Amino acid sequence: MTLQFLIAPDFSPDRFAGWHMLNTVLQRRSGIHLHLVTPVSAQEQADALAAGQADIVYANPFDATDMIRSMGYIPFARPAQRYDEMVIATGAESGLKSLEELKPGCRIALTDNRDVKLIGLRLLEPADLAESLIEWVQVDSYQAAARKAIKGEVDAAFFLADAFASLTRISRAQLHVLVESAISDISHVLLAHPRVISDLPAIKNAFVEIGKMPGDNDLLEALGLPKGFESLSQEQAEFMIDLMDTLLD
């Protein structure tokens, strides 16, 4: 039997090889065949979930909330000491130096990552900018968001902090960070569909043991997760979900 291992479509392109390396290692150590599914958009991910093509999922916290509550997915692990912070940045030539300089009607580029948008709206509160007062510019990738900010086509852009850090040095030099979040309680999580509950112990053990064998550090570096993975209980997941609800209020 082959299990479908779906990765949220928000990782940096330079991490693609790392996820394939991880998939190979997980198969070898768990004894379970895994097929890596890498949707390119939130819609493609939703289609895969609806079609039952996601037995194990690496999900962003916003999607994980719905998958746990509405679809019965079981949380079992998360990246260790790696939280989903986000960055709001503007083009270095824009002249903007603070969030408060963003005014109603400003244009902000963002990808289809609802958790990033949710946190970003909270960070914009000091500027008195509600969602309805912003002209949103949807882009397909964080690289596209960076290009629009650098060219002055938008006033600012939202980034997952890890994605911002993975931009080229030249791109980062042409951007000015207005703010970076520091919540430290929200992260991507690993979820298992109830239909694969019998395989979960082996899968979970394979994840949390990564980092303890020769060569694992190279794998974790390729993933951008230097501390590996740690166990996640239902209670810990519920705490994160409650925090997400607070951000939504």
> Where are the chain's structural domains?
2-83+185-248, 86-180
Backbone CA torsion sign across 28, 1, 14, 186? negative
Using H for helix, E for strand and C for coil, what is the string for 27-81?
HHHHCCEEEEECCCCHHHHHHHHHCCCCCEEEECHHHHHHHHHHHCCEEEEEECC
**Type of residue numbered 249:** D
Tell me the mean pLDDT in the region 163-190: 92
- Assigned fold of 2-83+185-248: D-Maltodextrin-Binding Protein; domain 2 (3.40.190)
DSSP state of 90: E
Interatomic CA distance for residues 154 and 94, integer angstroms: 9
231 falls in which pLDDT band (50, 70, 90)? very high
Q: In the beta sheet, which residues pair with residue 59?
A: 189
**Is residue 206 within 8 Å of residue 29, measured between CB atoms?**
yes
Q: Tokens 């239909």 correspond to what residue?
A: 195
The pLDDT of residue 245 is above 90? no
3-state helix, strand, coil in the chain (%, to 5): 45, 20, 35
For position 243, what pLDDT does the model report? 86
For position 23, what pLDDT does the model report? 96
To which CATH superfamily is domain 86-180 assigned? Periplasmic binding protein-like II (3.40.190.10)
**Six-digit token string for 14:** 């330079």
Domains 2-83+185-248 and 86-180 share a fold: yes
**Is residue 188 within 8 Å of residue 81, measured between CB atoms?**
no
What proportion of the chain, given as a percentage, has pLDDT over 90? 76
Tell me the mean pLDDT in the region 79-103: 93
**Is residue 237 within 8 Å of residue 68, measured between CB atoms?**
yes
For position 56, what pLDDT does the model report? 97
Mean pLDDT of all residues belonging to the chain: 92
The pLDDT of residue 160 is above 80? yes
Render pLDDT for 126-141 as a digit per residue (tens, 0 to 9): 889 999 999 999 998 8
| Least confident window among 143-147, 198-202, 227-231, 243-247 | 243-247
| Between 40 and 205, residue with greater pLDDT | 205
Tell me the mean pLDDT in the region 116-122: 91
**Six-digit token string for 200:** 């979960």
Interatomic CA distance for residues 227 and 241, integer angstroms: 23
113 falls in which pLDDT band (50, 70, 90)? confident
What proportion of the chain, given as a percentage, has pLDDT over 70? 100
- Strand 74-79 relative to strand 229-231: parallel, antiparallel, unpaired? antiparallel
